[in-house]
Structure 1
Amino acid sequence: MSVSNPTLITFVIYIAAMVLIGFMAYRSTNNLSDYILGGRSLGSVVTALSAGASDMSGWLLMGLPGAIYMSGLSESWIAIGLIVGAYLNWLFVAGRLRVQTEHNGDALTLPDYFSSRFEDKSGLLRIISAIVILVFFTIYCASGIVAGARLFESTFGMSYETALWAGAAATIAYTFVGGLLAVSWTDTVQATLMIFALLLTPIIVLLATGGIDTTFLAIEAQDPSNFNMLKNTTFIGIISLMGWGLGYFGQPHILARFMAADSVKSIANARRISMTWMILCLGGTVAVGFFGIAYFSANPDLAAPVSENHERVFIELAKILFNPWVAGVLLSAILAAVMSTLSCQLLVCSSALTEDFYKTFLRKTASQVELVWVGRAMVLLVALIAIALAANPDNRVLGLVSYAWAGFGAAFGPVVLISVIWKDMTRDGALAGILVGAITVIVWKHFELLGLYEIIPGFIFASLAIYFVSKMGEPTRGMLQRFAAAEADFRLNK
């Protein structure tokens, strides 16, 4: 195994710090609410940066810079869509979901919230939503483990099998021990590391290529259409890329951060911090890929690894332009992006299994200590299944990851959004929304209809299903009273 000592030492220190934070959080974890939602104690800074870091996976430092490097600014529409979607999610959902979950049985998970909000005595809503979470997130976890393995494999020359376990072990450790507090505290550190890497790297690339004017001339000389936002795009293509923003309304790992905020008063400040962080990170990501075009066209002898795999553009720039110690810190940012998303996905799966299956159907009288340890066991179980799925990176199941975001966005997005703003929504409407959204995504993806990203028809049809099915019935008096009380609480304290 070929090892660059400064990079290895940096990685070891970083991973050790994350695990140490996990053990610190362990001391503050006394019950299931502490483990799943951090005891609803997250301040605005931690809420903001944790929501951002849990959203941005390895694609932020690998996938998106690579796409910009290959195709120019026309690939940046997805960043615009994500910024708009995230802002609207903070504006319309975050504060209201925080108070609605508290007023509806102090719900700890999305299935728990749906069940209480719509007085679902049958348990059907809880079961279906928990199954959707487990299926999509286990696959998501597998993709995160693959991304971590690829980073260790390319950085340290490990075999894929060794890298698989090395990349997953630290994340599993601190999530297992510390729960949401550990995940949120580590996310805050990881978000800081990510923004440092994405602001510093494009500045150094600019200096290495001779400044803005020289860089832009080099990019134009390579291909003038790199500056064209409409290059190789269609109206449907742009709408599809912008449509990624709709996914935010239904992502359980992001919504969990809203539910864990210490109060609705923290949300407005958290929104400002999170959106600033997100805009700077996505801007830095686009700049890394775009300026990389100029750097590697001026240094073709160094371009072989990037030509072979364009997603390595950030990795190669970090290794070439920085001192090995600084490069180790920058490469740790990729690990941070992978670990922050993987950890919260593991935790959401664990909470679904513990709160929505074990406690609800198997052990209603289970003690809080028992539930916390069951939650930890479920983290381990889901992680092992995800590692098994990731063992063969070419396994066809990983192809499902491309529309897991759409699956969550369409199945849960309309239900969450409408449930916090429309008092007349009913249980049958919620059930119809989840089923219609999920089924539309699967069918639309299978037939690749119109070339349109499946989240858009899924979101639209699910919203229509919620409205029309809800109109066929009416909410109970208790549902209306809880909604009114939560809305009044939100307006008083926002």
Structure 2
Amino acid sequence: MTMNTPMVVTFCVYISGMILIGLFAYLRTKNFDDYILGGRSLGSFVTALSAGASDMSGWLLMGLPGAIFVSGISESWIAIGLTIGAYLNWKLVAGRLRVHTEANNNALTLPDYFTHRFEDKSKLLRIISALIILMFFTVYCASGVVAGARLFESTFGMSYSTALFAGAAATILYTFIGGFLAISWTDTVQASLVIFALILTPIIVILAVGGVHTSMLVIDTKNPEYTNMFKGLNLVAILSLLGWGLGYFGQPHILARFMAADSHHTIKNARRISMTWMILCLSGTIAVGFFGIAYFSSNPGVAGNVDRNSERVFIELAKILFNPWIAGVLLSAIMAAVMSTLSCQLLVSSSAITEDLYKAFLRKKASQKELVWVGRVMVLLVAGVAIYLASNPENKVLGLVSYAWAGFGAAFGPVILISLVWPRMTRNGALAGMIVGAVTVVVWKQFAWFGLYEIIPGFAFAAVAIVLFSLMGRKPSASIEQRFNDAEAQYRTV
């Protein structure tokens, strides 16, 4: 039995299990509502872990550990910003969005919610928001495909081009078959696998170096700046890293989890579970990158792959330090992180095409069965585009994620947040916010003014545009205000 055989067996067992869950979900999928939101039936535990797993993609086990391995603990400002942003998203948005989407014609997607929330008969909100979803999600999906390809490439010695298809195939299959229920159930398994890997791996790395004290001495000897939280960072750089937290308010694949909860009362327990999971995972991923510095400094003979690509630090530690069978489980955790996010992104993109373009403009009277199958075909289409975008082997996971994260955070974040707390917001305000947010991100990214992460100006300018255009226009209709007040009253019921 070769070193790779246990890993192959473990991967096959894991992926087969995910596909079986997809087949079981297929039997539970009766209509398009089931396929897109699982019939709004998720309990607190599944809602919590599904939201966390769909958020923490391959960057959790590859991008962020790689950044910390290169730059030291200063990169953990991202984790701080994400933790704050996630908590505020659960606190301010989750429960309200669950209630308001149901109150607005049982909206299944964000474009559907925007259309009914603001009574947009022109359907401009639906078109613009669906196009924004497709534009940024193709980039986001590409990041997941890249992460999966890197994993298969390094684990099984595949060429990058072959690994692209191998890494994406299983995710595409169970998303195609089972839809939202398959994704939510598999996310729960995958989230458990990820937290296991991120608690176990740093402990073994520390022990391999000789303990925390020895590890810190090795890191300090290599570069004392690695332990400096402010290493090479000015105020703009720190704000840029913290600014990642703003992205949570506008991520369609995370917001879909809130919309699918069985009740807004479920959200409170889900928030506690999800935040605990998230803090443990982020702490673990920081520790992997940070103590990985000590391990590879002490063992330079095995550092070649990590020196060539820092995003492989977790992969290499798992392969070197663990029995091949355990390593296979740990590497499956990377696949779990990739699959959980990629699957949800594929489904949200598919739903944007199916519900917000195909049904809204081409086949208004399409049957439920037809919509489900159109949705499945769209999963394949979006996946194909993502694989094409990921075909450049020079792509970096964190770079692709940061652009898509900023795009959604700026285009949708202020619109979602303000629409749930301000009844005076209008259709024109929402439209202006989306366009200003998306355009700011695209333009700011090209010019990189002041070195500031594009989500911050995008979010700020979008929020200002929403308020200004809402106040400049006529007040919302009485029916809009009534629905808002009814939803808010329902949200506040105990």
Shorter-chain TM-score: which interval?
A: over 0.9
Indicate the residue corresponding to 1:78 in structure 2: 78
From the superposition, tell whether residues 11 and 315 of structure 1 become closer, same or farther in structure 2 (CA, over 3 Å): same
| CA displacement at 1:401 relative to structure 2 | 5.1
| CA displacement at 1:140 relative to structure 2 | 1.6
Indicate the residue corresponding to 2:284 in structure 1: 284
Q: Structure 2 matches for 1:139-154, cutoff 5 A? A: 139-154=139-154
For the Cα contact (< 8 Å) 2:250–2:414, is it kept in 1? yes
Indicate the residue corresponding to 1:381 in structure 2: 381
| 1:30-71 per-position Cα deviation (integer Å, ceiling 9, x unaligned) | 011100000000111111111111111111111111111111
Indicate the residue corresponding to 1:221 in structure 2: 221
Q: What is the SS of the residue equivalent to 1:106? A: coil
Indicate the residue corresponding to 1:356 in structure 2: 356
How many residues of Structure 1 are paired with residues of Structure 2 in the alignment?
492
Identical pairs, percent:
73
| 1:166-196 per-position Cα deviation (integer Å, ceiling 9, x unaligned) | 1111000100000000001111111100000
- Residue 40 (1) aligns with residue 55 (2): no
Q: Structure 2 matches for 1:253-292, cutoff 5 A? A: 253-292=253-292
For the Cα contact (< 8 Å) 1:23–1:177, is it kept in 2? yes
| CA displacement at 1:221 relative to structure 2 | 1.7
Indicate the residue corresponding to 2:188 in structure 1: 188
* Comparing 72-81 and 365-374, the one that deviates more: 365-374
Indicate the residue corresponding to 1:491 in structure 2: 492
Q: Structure 2 matches for 1:246-395, cutoff 5 A? A: 246-394=246-394
For the Cα contact (< 8 Å) 1:3–1:156, is it kept in 2? no
Write the letter of the residue equivalent to 1:206.
Answer: I
Mapped to 2, the partners of 1:332 and 1:101 lie a distance apart of: 35
Indicate the residue corresponding to 1:461 in structure 2: 461
For the Cα contact (< 8 Å) 2:82–2:245, is it kept in 1? yes
Q: Structure 2 matches for 1:407-446, cutoff 5 A? A: 407-446=407-446
For the Cα contact (< 8 Å) 2:64–2:398, is it kept in 1? no
For the Cα contact (< 8 Å) 2:193–2:333, is it kept in 1? yes
Mapped to 1, the partners of 2:65 and 2:187 lie a distance apart of: 22
Write the letter of the residue equivalent to 1:249.
Answer: F
Mapped to 2, the partners of 1:437 and 1:423 lie a distance apart of: 21
Q: What is the SS of the residue equivalent to 2:387? A: helix
Q: What is the SS of the residue equivalent to 1:61? A: helix
TM-score, L = length of structure 2: 0.97
From the superposition, tell whether residues 397 and 269 of structure 1 become closer, same or farther in structure 2 (CA, over 3 Å): closer
| CA displacement at 1:385 relative to structure 2 | 2.0
Indicate the residue corresponding to 2:7 in structure 1: 7
Mapped to 2, the partners of 1:371 and 1:6 lie a distance apart of: 41
Q: What is the SS of the residue equivalent to 1:39? A: coil
| 1:113-142 per-position Cα deviation (integer Å, ceiling 9, x unaligned) | 000000000010000000000111112212
For the Cα contact (< 8 Å) 1:38–1:180, is it kept in 2? yes
From the superposition, tell whether residues 396 and 200 of structure 1 become closer, same or farther in structure 2 (CA, over 3 Å): closer
Write the letter of the residue equivalent to 2:143.
Answer: S
For the Cα contact (< 8 Å) 1:139–1:398, is it kept in 2? no
Structure 2: stretches of 5+ with no match in the other structure: none
| CA displacement at 1:392 relative to structure 2 | 3.4
From the superposition, tell whether residues 406 and 122 of structure 1 become closer, same or farther in structure 2 (CA, over 3 Å): same
* Comparing 33-42 and 402-411, the one that deviates more: 402-411
Indicate the residue corresponding to 2:21 in structure 1: 21
Indicate the residue corresponding to 1:475 in structure 2: 476
From the superposition, tell whether residues 377 and 151 of structure 1 become closer, same or farther in structure 2 (CA, over 3 Å): same
Mapped to 2, the partners of 1:221 and 1:17 lie a distance apart of: 45
Write the letter of the residue equivalent to 2:487.
Answer: A
- Residue 69 (1) aligns with residue 69 (2): yes
Mapped to 2, the partners of 1:70 and 1:375 lie a distance apart of: 41
Indicate the residue corresponding to 2:106 in structure 1: 106
* Comparing 156-165 and 41-50, the one that deviates more: 156-165
For the Cα contact (< 8 Å) 2:11–2:328, is it kept in 1? yes
Mapped to 1, the partners of 2:3 and 2:153 lie a distance apart of: 11
For the Cα contact (< 8 Å) 2:160–2:393, is it kept in 1? no
For the Cα contact (< 8 Å) 1:389–1:397, is it kept in 2? no
Mapped to 2, the partners of 1:119 and 1:100 lie a distance apart of: 14
| CA displacement at 1:161 relative to structure 2 | 2.3
Q: What is the SS of the residue equivalent to 1:424? A: coil
| CA displacement at 1:389 relative to structure 2 | 2.6
For the Cα contact (< 8 Å) 1:305–1:316, is it kept in 2? yes
Mapped to 1, the partners of 2:437 and 2:186 lie a distance apart of: 33
| CA displacement at 1:143 relative to structure 2 | 2.2
| CA displacement at 1:390 relative to structure 2 | 2.5
Mapped to 1, the partners of 2:86 and 2:396 lie a distance apart of: 30
Mapped to 2, the partners of 1:407 and 1:256 lie a distance apart of: 17
From the superposition, tell whether residues 480 and 243 of structure 1 become closer, same or farther in structure 2 (CA, over 3 Å): same
From the superposition, tell whether residues 3 and 127 of structure 1 become closer, same or farther in structure 2 (CA, over 3 Å): farther
Q: What is the SS of the residue equivalent to 1:62? A: helix
RMSD: 1.5
Write the letter of the residue equivalent to 1:314.
Answer: F
From the superposition, tell whether residues 387 and 326 of structure 1 become closer, same or farther in structure 2 (CA, over 3 Å): same
Indicate the residue corresponding to 1:240 in structure 2: 240
| 1:451-476 per-position Cα deviation (integer Å, ceiling 9, x unaligned) | 11111011111101111111112111
| CA displacement at 1:398 relative to structure 2 | 11
| CA displacement at 1:211 relative to structure 2 | 1.5
Q: What is the SS of the residue equivalent to 1:49? A: helix
Write the letter of the residue equivalent to 2:489.
Answer: A
| CA displacement at 1:395 relative to structure 2 | 7.8
| 1:222-268 per-position Cα deviation (integer Å, ceiling 9, x unaligned) | 22221110011000000000001000000000000000001001100
* Comparing 140-149 and 20-29, the one that deviates more: 140-149
| CA displacement at 1:322 relative to structure 2 | 0.6
Mapped to 1, the partners of 2:226 and 2:25 lie a distance apart of: 47
For the Cα contact (< 8 Å) 2:220–2:226, is it kept in 1? yes
From the superposition, tell whether residues 399 and 62 of structure 1 become closer, same or farther in structure 2 (CA, over 3 Å): closer
| 1:322-375 per-position Cα deviation (integer Å, ceiling 9, x unaligned) | 110000000011111111111001000110011001111111111111111111
Mapped to 2, the partners of 1:296 and 1:154 lie a distance apart of: 17
Mapped to 2, the partners of 1:3 and 1:290 lie a distance apart of: 27
Mapped to 1, the partners of 2:365 and 2:164 lie a distance apart of: 38
Indicate the residue corresponding to 1:159 in structure 2: 159
Write the letter of the residue equivalent to 1:247.
Answer: G
Mapped to 2, the partners of 1:224 and 1:424 lie a distance apart of: 53
Write the letter of the residue equivalent to 2:458.
Answer: G
Mapped to 2, the partners of 1:406 and 1:395 lie a distance apart of: 18
Mapped to 1, the partners of 2:436 and 2:67 lie a distance apart of: 32
Mapped to 2, the partners of 1:335 and 1:397 lie a distance apart of: 14
For the Cα contact (< 8 Å) 2:139–2:386, is it kept in 1? yes
Q: What is the SS of the residue equivalent to 2:220? A: helix
Mapped to 1, the partners of 2:180 and 2:386 lie a distance apart of: 20
